[in-house]
Amino acid sequence: MRQAEIKRKTQETDIELAVNLDQQEPVAIETGVGFFDHMLTLFARHSRISLTVKAEGDLWVDSHHTVEDVGIVLGQALRQALGDKAGINRYGTSFVPMDETLGMASLDLSGRSYLVFEADFDNPKLGNFDTELVEEFFQALAFNLQMNLHLKILHGKNSHHKAESLFKATGRALREAITINPEIHGVNSTKGLL
Ligand SMILES: [Mn+2]
């Protein structure tokens, strides 16, 4: 089983997070930030992984530390669970429509970290979640998972739809990338290492 569990406590957040890439249950997210819980639940369902998150952050400041730190820990846990990445597809791409919005995620579990993010949100807040944190989250995720991640809203209007299409597309692209492909022997790189 490809799984990992991480506990991380700082002055700003206290996080317990577990992932299992080879089973789909349980999914249970509690961060104190409703919209973020909604996004992480979608992400887990569309990547078909088990994900549990218990985060207690300094929400009296704002939701920044909580969202960013969950991104860091999720990236670390996924990377740990992937191990040597033998036999996985490595790449994944997904387009996800949501009513008027179309979002895209394309990623490579290359061992190198890079985020390209092309999305704007008209609405600065969704509940107690600041929409600028969508980029912060994916930056933390990409850097700690050591993945090359491209996210783009091709068109759209509604801020909730835009954020949701990016989380769903990333989940679906990740599922493709982490899937073990019987045609791939060893690591899917001419370098022999990912
Ligand atoms: Mn929604």
Question: What does the pLDDT look like over 66-77, one tens digit per residue?
Answer: 999 999 999 999
Give the DSSP H or E segment for 171: helix 159-178
The pLDDT value recorded for residue 113 is 98
Taking the C-alpha atoms of 138, 144, 147 and 152 in order, what is their torsion angle to the nearest 10 degrees? 10
Q: Model confidence over 137-147: pLDDT tens digits?
A: 999 999 999 99
Q: What spacing in Å lies between the alpha carbon of 54 and ligand 1's midpoint?
A: 21
CATH of the domain at 64: 3.30.230.40
Q: Model confidence over 34-49: pLDDT tens digits?
A: 999 999 999 999 999 9
Residue 181 in any domain: the answer is no
Q: What spacing in Å lies between the alpha carbon of 22 and ligand 1's midpoint?
A: 26
Residue 189 in any domain: the answer is no
pLDDT, average across residues 160-166: 98
Would you place residue 192 in the very low, low, confident or very high pLDDT band (cuts 50, 70, 90)? confident
The pLDDT value recorded for residue 27 is 98
pLDDT, average across residues 7-27: 98
Residue 192 in any domain: the answer is no
Average pLDDT of the chain to the nearest whole number: 97
Residue 135 in any domain: the answer is yes
Range of the domain at 39: 1-176
Q: What spacing in Å lies between the alpha carbon of 184 and ligand 1's midpoint?
A: 36
Integer CA distances (angstroms), 101 to 6, 155, 159, 164, 179, in order: 34, 5, 9, 10, 27
- Give the pair of three-digit tokens for residue 160: 């909730």
How many structural domains are present in the chain?
A: 1
Q: What spacing in Å lies between the alpha carbon of 87 and ligand 1's midpoint?
A: 34
- Give the pair of three-digit tokens for residue 75: 């990236």
Residue 137 in any domain: the answer is yes
Would you place residue 116 in the very low, low, confident or very high pLDDT band (cuts 50, 70, 90)? very high
Residue 172 in any domain: the answer is yes
Q: What spacing in Å lies between the alpha carbon of 164 and ligand 1's midpoint?
A: 6
Q: Are 52 and 29 in contact (CB under 8 A)?
A: yes
Q: What spacing in Å lies between the alpha carbon of 163 and ligand 1's midpoint?
A: 9
Q: Model confidence over 50-60: pLDDT tens digits?
A: 999 999 999 99
Q: Tell me if the pTM is above 0.95.
A: yes
Would you place residue 180 in the very low, low, confident or very high pLDDT band (cuts 50, 70, 90)? very high
- Give the pair of three-digit tokens for residue 158: 């509604």
Please, what is the Cα angle at 158 between 118 and 139, to 5 degrees? 35
pLDDT, average across residues 113-130: 97
Largest Cα separation within the chain, whole Å, is 51
Residue 182 in any domain: the answer is no
The pLDDT value recorded for residue 179 is 98
Q: d(Cα 75, Cα 145) in Å, to the nearest integer?
A: 4
Residue 107 in any domain: the answer is yes
